Amino acid sequence: MSTAGSHTASAAPPPHPTTVLLVDDNELGRDMLTRRLARRGFRVIGAADGLEAVARAISDQPDLIIMDMSLPVMDGWEATRRIRADARTWTIPIIALTAHVMADDRVRCLEAGCDEFQSKPVDFIRLVDAILRLGGLEGADGAEAKG
């Protein structure tokens, strides 16, 4: 995880459209984050609950998943476990995005299979840095990320 003073995410769009599955039941938040990521060159697909997230991960094969953990129908912890248990999706990087910010919440997310833990409210530069790092795109042009 990067520290506040060491953001190195690229300001340029990824060399190919990186597909991000954004899972959040808050439509307004999902829409805002979708627009910000799209402006950065990412292709964003959405899901509003954990069950839909599992289905979209299988059908759309995104490059990365941003998973809210407090979801209806199926929570993000169970959705992450199911994605990790499926041979078609187990290698997709998953970033937990949650308002649960206690140390044991971070551990719980990582134990469920998340690769990264990000807290809400979203620190967009830090989130893009994590997307680029987990997607193998970090430092494409050495520029700083801008929200």
Closest CA to 20 of 52, 54, 55, 57: 57
Q: What is the pLDDT, as a whole number, of residue 137?
A: 66
Structural tokens at position 105: 């919440």
Closest CA to 96 of 86, 88, 81, 18: 81
Domains in the chain, please, with CATH? 19-134 (3.40.50.2300)
What are 28-53's pLDDT values in tens digits? 989 999 999 999 999 999 999 999 99
Q: Check if the beta carbon of residue 94 is closer than 8 Å to that of residue 113.
A: yes
Closest CA to 28 of 78, 68, 74: 68
The answer to whether the predicted template modeling score (pTM) of the entire model surpasses 0.85 is no
**Torsion (CA) 72, 74, 79, 82 in degrees, nearest 10:** -170
Using 50 as the pLDDT threshold, list the residues of the chain that sit under it. Answer: 1-11, 14, 139-147
Q: What is the 3-state secondary structure (H, E, C) of 6-26?
A: CCCCCCCCCCCCCEEEEECCC
